[in-house]
């Protein structure tokens, strides 16, 4: 037998429509009526849109008749009457399943329209909302509903829901219970955007014959898949089948047409799993879809009592869940985009004032604090900045990031990753990185090394347990200072320990690549050391040969005579003024050629005498007549 409501609201009674007896009822919510109850009826019936939140309706003692052009048949409640006075005289409510509740007092603070019946948010300037506005402006008694009129030709029907797999037939309740415990212990403290108790209650109902819908199946499949990844509750084959089931639901056209809050939560879990197991391009694409879904259902908007509250939540609890969903989604997307060098989708702010603290175990706000330190990576903004301004912006972000406290090993890895991201951007500015900034980056990397080892020993394969250590080694090699090079052995030992524990291709590949880079740095240092050794060794810079050429009386040029290295080492100036050229002549030719001018000749060996600190430059540049009595290296000249 069909259950009927004992009382019906005044708009439903006048229009002879089915009423569920709630306040506001589903019919008034869908059509946009001002829901109210007449005296003697259900004036004290009060629930939220989903029947859980208790809202007390004000009693109504009198009725009034409609005018000839009126619509509502009974006296509205005090709150409804206030909203009714704020509407324009021509703004009568229209008909349709998707009519939007538009309040003039909120028009200045929002640029969109919330469709409660679909939990959908669209812009006021949208083509979908324009026909309804036009109908109201024309004072139509039946303005068009908010609908995508003539969006396409309609020659093909939309695809129906096609997923036939049911997870409750594949996973036992005991496995679900264990997965929820693992998720609540390991993942929920870091990404706290789910109500675990509500999820546990719905899971129990779903596995005991009370179907909770496809969106819930996608959500619980993501929870089970991540719990298995961090604890191996399921074997790898069953885990992948559960993840595939979540993918089939989220990619289904029917689910995409009617997204809910559980849909966005399932997408967040999917992004975490993809970031932990797949490639960076795929993770970034999925994170963009996740952000656009947050925009589609208006997660970042301040929800009112009549705006599609889902689940058994009060208004404050639903606002808390929405703010947390937006916070975690934004942090995930920004981290993935920043480390991959891709653009970001920023759809709106995080309403932090709506978040209800969950105790010391709730660490989600720490993640939000880390991400908030990042400067914008928008190419449009960066292109309008000069390099010093951009450098100052990155430097300030690095200082704020280092000073942000963290109490979880995963957040230590996130902090180090973000420091490396800022370092790579500073290097591209070609302005250099200051020593104190390099010290901060190295210290952040050192803090990440024990954190990575701890997470691996706990069998918690967060996505950056290997990547942070590998990137730290690359940063140390790029800094190329005595401090950074001294840290490489510890970092290499950590990476080797992780690779030995994981025994995966990616870990072994990272270790092999790091060893190649370290070996290349070693060879580079050896080449530089060889050059420096040649510089400090005087024998390596001896002249290979010195030749003196004599000419006979007929003018024929004779063969040059080479001087040995031993002769070169003996060609040093003595304190009595003998020049290197004279000494070379004595060794090579066996005769001493005396000249009237004692200034040394300008051959190859003579040039080396200019480096002698006892050289008398004043005497060298004086005319010959002034220097005939005193040689440049004589005792008198030295005095």
> Do the domain assignments include residue 117?
no
What region, left, alpha or beta, does residue 119 occupy, with left being phi > 0 and alpha being psi -120 to 50 degrees? left
Whole-angstrom Cα distance, residue 151 to residue 171? 41
Whole-angstrom Cα distance, residue 518 to residue 566? 42
Q: CB atoms < 10 A from the CB of 551, how many? A: 9
Q: Structure tokens of 540? A: 């390596």
Mean pLDDT of 82-87: 40
> Do the domain assignments include residue 2?
no
In 3D space, the residue among 491, 516, 495 whose CA is nearest the CA of residue 504 turns out to be 495
Residue 551 has pLDDT above 50, yes or no: no
Q: Do 487 and 580 reside in the same domain of the chain?
A: no
Residue 146 pLDDT? 83
Say if residues 414 and 464 touch (Cβ distance below 8 Å): yes
Q: Structure tokens of 505? A: 């291709």
Q: Do 571 and 429 reside in the same domain of the chain?
A: no
In 3D space, the residue among 252, 271, 253, 254 whose CA is nearest the CA of residue 193 turns out to be 271
Mean pLDDT of 499-512: 95
Residue 637 has pLDDT above 50, yes or no: no
Mean pLDDT of 556-562: 44
Whole-angstrom Cα distance, residue 345 to residue 124? 20
Q: What is the 3-state secondary structure (H, E, C) of 569-615?
A: HHCCCCCCCCCHHHHHHHHHHCCCCCCCCCCCCCCHHHHHHHHCCCC
| Domain edge (last residue) among 468, 489, 509 | 509
Q: What is the 3-state secondary structure (H, E, C) of 182-246?
A: HHHHHHCCCCCCCCHHHHHHHHHHHCCCCCCCHHHHHHHHHHHHHHHHHHCCCCHHHHHHHHHHH
Mean pLDDT of 259-288: 96
Residue 445 pLDDT? 96
Q: Do 499 and 605 reside in the same domain of the chain?
A: no
Whole-angstrom Cα distance, residue 27 to residue 96? 10
| Domain edge (last residue) among 488, 509, 530 | 509
Q: Do 345 and 475 reside in the same domain of the chain?
A: yes
Mean pLDDT of 462-475: 96
Say if residues 264 and 299 touch (Cβ distance below 8 Å): yes
Residue 592 pLDDT? 37
Residue 578 has pLDDT above 70, yes or no: no
Mean pLDDT of 535-558: 53
Residue 242 pLDDT? 97
Q: Lowest-pLDDT range, 14-28, 272-286, 414-428?
A: 14-28
| Domain edge (last residue) among 509, 524, 541 | 509
> Do the domain assignments include residue 283?
yes
Mean pLDDT of 60-83: 37
Q: Give residues with Cβ within 8 angstroms of 317, minimum separation 6.
A: 195, 356
Identify which has the larger pLDDT, 20 or 172. Answer: 172
Residue 606 pLDDT? 44
Identify which has the larger pLDDT, 547 or 488. Answer: 488
Q: Do 487 and 611 reside in the same domain of the chain?
A: no
Q: How confident is the model at residue 269 (pLDDT cuts 50, 70, 90)?
A: very high
Quote the number of domains for the chain.
2
Report the largest interatomic distance among the alpha carbons of the chain, rounded to a whole angstrom.
143
Whole-angstrom Cα distance, residue 94 to residue 79? 20
Residue 615 pLDDT? 55
Instruction: Look up the domain containing 426 and give its range.
Output: 255-264+271-509
Buried b (16+ CB within 10 A) or exposed e, 467-485: bbbbbbbebbbebeeeebe
Which residue(s) pair with 121 in the sheet? 114
> Do the domain assignments include residue 474?
yes
Q: Do 495 and 574 reside in the same domain of the chain?
A: no
Identify which has the larger pLDDT, 37 or 598. Answer: 37
Say if residues 308 and 260 touch (Cβ distance below 8 Å): no
Residue 454 has pLDDT above 60, yes or no: yes
Per-residue pLDDT tens digits for 195-219: 999 999 999 999 999 999 999 999 9
Share of the chain above pLDDT 70, in %: 69
Residue 506 pLDDT? 95
Whole-angstrom Cα distance, residue 340 to residue 168? 37
Residue 605 pLDDT? 45
Whole-angstrom Cα distance, residue 7 to residue 13? 9
Q: How confident is the model at residue 312 (pLDDT cuts 50, 70, 90)?
A: confident
Q: Do 294 and 367 reside in the same domain of the chain?
A: yes
Backbone angles phi, psi at 179, to 5 degrees: -65, -40
Mean pLDDT of 550-557: 44
Say if residues 8 and 14 touch (Cβ distance below 8 Å): no
Q: How confident is the model at residue 229 (pLDDT cuts 50, 70, 90)?
A: very high
Query: Rounded mean pLDDT of the chain?
Result: 77
In 3D space, the residue among 354, 363, 333 whose CA is nearest the CA of residue 187 turns out to be 363
> Do the domain assignments include residue 369?
yes
> Do the domain assignments include residue 439?
yes
Q: Do 301 and 372 reside in the same domain of the chain?
A: yes
> Do the domain assignments include residue 56?
no
Q: Do 500 and 585 reside in the same domain of the chain?
A: no
Residue 73 has pLDDT above 70, yes or no: no
Residue 542 pLDDT? 55
Residue 228 pLDDT? 96
Q: Do 376 and 485 reside in the same domain of the chain?
A: yes
Residue 560 has pLDDT above 50, yes or no: no
Buried b (16+ CB within 10 A) or exposed e, 257-273: eebbbbbbbbbbbbbbb
Residue 543 has pLDDT above 60, yes or no: no
Say if residues 90 and 108 touch (Cβ distance below 8 Å): no
Q: How confident is the model at residue 474 (pLDDT cuts 50, 70, 90)?
A: very high
> Do the domain assignments include residue 13?
no
Identify which has the larger pLDDT, 540 or 33. Answer: 33
Q: Lowest-pLDDT range, 48-62, 483-497, 508-522?
A: 48-62
Mean pLDDT of 392-399: 93
Residues in the chain: 639
Residue 413 pLDDT? 97
Residue 320 has pLDDT above 90, yes or no: yes
In 3D space, the residue among 449, 459, 438 whose CA is nearest the CA of residue 413 turns out to be 449
Q: How confident is the model at residue 147 (pLDDT cuts 50, 70, 90)?
A: confident
Whole-angstrom Cα distance, residue 421 to residue 353? 30
The verdict on whether omega for the bond into residue 24 sits within 30 degrees of 0, i.e. cis, is: yes
Q: Do 479 and 568 reside in the same domain of the chain?
A: no
Residue 96 pLDDT? 37
Identify which has the larger pLDDT, 55 or 184. Answer: 184
The SS3 assignment for 131 reads: helix
Residue 619 pLDDT? 57
Whole-angstrom Cα distance, residue 336 to residue 331? 9
Q: Do 383 and 298 reside in the same domain of the chain?
A: yes
Identify which has the larger pLDDT, 555 or 426. Answer: 426
Residue 467 pLDDT? 96
Mean pLDDT of 227-242: 94
Residue 111 pLDDT? 60
CA 50 to chain centre: 36
Q: How confident is the model at residue 124 (pLDDT cuts 50, 70, 90)?
A: confident
* Angle formed at CA 632 by CA 629 and CA 633, multiple of 5 degrees: 115
Identify which has the larger pLDDT, 140 or 420. Answer: 420
Per-residue pLDDT tens digits for 161-190: 999 999 999 999 999 999 999 999 999 999
Say if residues 564 and 543 touch (Cβ distance below 8 Å): no
Residue 614 pLDDT? 57
Residue 148 pLDDT? 84
Q: Report in angstroms the alpha-carbon separations of 432 from 385, 386, 418, 426.
A: 17, 15, 19, 7
Identify which has the larger pLDDT, 169 or 568. Answer: 169
Q: Structure tokens of 409? A: 């090993």
Whole-angstrom Cα distance, residue 231 to residue 254? 33
Residue 369 pLDDT? 95
Mean pLDDT of 19-31: 75
Per-residue pLDDT tens digits for 397-451: 999 999 999 999 999 999 999 999 999 999 988 777 889 999 999 999 999 999 9
Identify which has the larger pLDDT, 61 or 356. Answer: 356
Per-residue pLDDT tens digits for 344-377: 998 888 999 999 988 888 899 999 999 999 998 8
What separation, in Å, do the N-terminal and C-terminal C-alpha atoms of the chain show?
A: 128
């Amino acid at each position: 037998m069909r259950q009927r409501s004992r009382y019906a609201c005044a708009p439903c009674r006048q229009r002879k429509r089915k009423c569920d007896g709630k306040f506001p009822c589903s019919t008034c919510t869908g059509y946009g009526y001002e829901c109210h109850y007449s005296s003697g009826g259900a004036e004290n019936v009060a629930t939220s849109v989903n029947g859980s939140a208790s809202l007390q309706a004000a009693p109504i003692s009198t009725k009034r008749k409609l005018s000839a052009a009126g619509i509502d048949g009974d006296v509205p409640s005090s709150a409804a009457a206030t909203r009714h006075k704020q509407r324009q005289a021509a703004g009568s409510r229209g008909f349709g399943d998707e009519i939007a509740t538009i309040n003039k007092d909120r028009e200045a603070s929002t640029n969109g329209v919330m469709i409660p019946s679909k939990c959908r948010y669209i812009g006021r300037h949208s083509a979908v909302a324009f026909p309804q506005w036009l109908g109201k402006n024309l004072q139509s008694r039946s303005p068009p509903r908010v609908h995508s009129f003539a969006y396409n030709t309609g020659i093909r029907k939309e695809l129906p829901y096609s997923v036939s797999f049911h997870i409750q037939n594949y996973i036992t309740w005991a496995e679900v219970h264990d997965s929820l415990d693992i998720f609540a212990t390991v993942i929920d403290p870091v990404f706290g955007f789910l109500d675990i108790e509500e999820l546990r209650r719905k899971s129990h109902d779903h596995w005991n014959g009370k179907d909770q819908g496809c969106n819930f199946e996608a959500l619980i499949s993501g929870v089970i898949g991540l719990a298995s990844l961090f604890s191996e509750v399921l074997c790898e084959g069953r885990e992948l089948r559960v993840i595939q089931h979540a993918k089939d639901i989220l990619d289904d056209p029917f689910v995409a047409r009617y997204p809910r809050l559980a849909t966005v939560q399932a997408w967040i879990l999917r992004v975490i799993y993809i970031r932990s197991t797949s490639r960076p391009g795929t993770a970034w694409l999925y994170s963009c879809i996740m952000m656009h879904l947050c925009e589609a259902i208006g997660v970042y908007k301040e929800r009112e009592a009549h705006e599609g509250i889902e689940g058994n939540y009060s208004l404050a609890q639903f606002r808390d869940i929405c703010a947390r969903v937006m916070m975690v989604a934004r942090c995930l997307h920004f981290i993935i985009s920043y480390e991959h060098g891709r653009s970001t989708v920023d759809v709106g702010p995080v309403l932090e004032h709506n978040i209800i603290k969950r105790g010391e175990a709730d660490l989600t706000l720490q993640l939000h604090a880390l991400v908030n330190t990042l400067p914008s990576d928008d190419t449009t903004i960066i292109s309008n900045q000069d390099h010093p301004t951009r450098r100052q912006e990155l430097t300030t972000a690095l200082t704020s990031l280092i000073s942000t406290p963290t109490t979880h090993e995963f957040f230590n890895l996130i902090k180090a990753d973000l420091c490396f991201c800022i370092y790579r951007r500073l290097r591209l500015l070609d302005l250099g990185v200051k020593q104190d900034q390099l010290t901060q980056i190295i210290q952040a990397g050192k803090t990440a090394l024990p954190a990575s080892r701890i997470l691996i020993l706990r069998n918690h394969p967060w996505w950056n347990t290997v990547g942070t250590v590998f990137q730290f080694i690359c940063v140390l090699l790029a800094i190329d200072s005595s401090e950074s090079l001294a840290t490489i052995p510890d970092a290499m030992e950590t990476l080797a320990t992780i690779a030995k524990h994981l025994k995966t291709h990616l870990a072994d590949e990272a270790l092999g690549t790091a060893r190649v880079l370290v070996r290349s740095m070693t060879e580079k240092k050896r080449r530089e050391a060889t050059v420096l050794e040649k510089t400090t060794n005087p024998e390596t810079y001896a002249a290979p040969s010195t030749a003196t050429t004599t000419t006979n009386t007929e003018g024929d040029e004779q063969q040059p005579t080479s001087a040995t290295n031993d002769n070169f080492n003996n060609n040093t100036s003595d304190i009595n003024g003998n020049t290197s050229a004279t000494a070379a002549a004595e060794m090579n030719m066996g005769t001493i050629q005396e000249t009237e001018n004692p200034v040394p000749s300008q051959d190859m060996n003579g040039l080396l005498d200019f480096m002698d600190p006892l050289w008398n430059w004043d005497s060298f540049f004086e005319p010959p007549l002034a220097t005939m009595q005193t040689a440049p290296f004589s005792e008198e000249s030295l005095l």
